[in-house]
Amino acid sequence: MGLKEWAIKESARVEKERKGSFPPSWKPAQGTTTVQVLEEEVRDITGQYGKAKVFSVKVKGTKHSWIINENSPVLRQLITMLGERIMKIRVTRVGTKMATRYKLEKA
């Protein structure tokens, strides 16, 4: 693929992302929330805090994007659970700001 073809393809990809091809992002609320991880392609993004993975999840019947930093222990927990085919997960969030902690367990 030549440079011109790559530029056209990359321009289309960037425009698609800019137009909101992702569902609204989801941040776990304080307490416990049950999420269903959807069997869709996990996407890679680079944001202000570095590289992250974007998972499609369903929360209370609504589809969302769950963005998890690649260095997060939550990502390691989630990968382990998905490897065991656990798709319905209880996410517990405790604390705020730098003291925030998450616990993932089978729902």
Fold annotation for 24-106: OB fold (Dihydrolipoamide Acetyltransferase, E2P) (2.40.50)
pLDDT at position 20 is 55
Query: pLDDT 10s per residue in the chain (107 long)?
Result: 788 888 888 887 776 665 556 788 898 989 999 999 999 889 888 877 889 999 999 999 999 999 999 999 999 999 999 999 999 999 999 998 889 999 999 99
Residue type present at position 24: P
Q: How far is CA 79 from the centre of its chain?
A: 12
Q: How far is CA 9 from the centre of its chain?
A: 24
- The domain spans of the chain are 24-106
pLDDT at position 16 is 67
d(CA 57, CA 28): 12
- Residue 78, CA atoms < 13 Å, CB-side half-sphere: 26
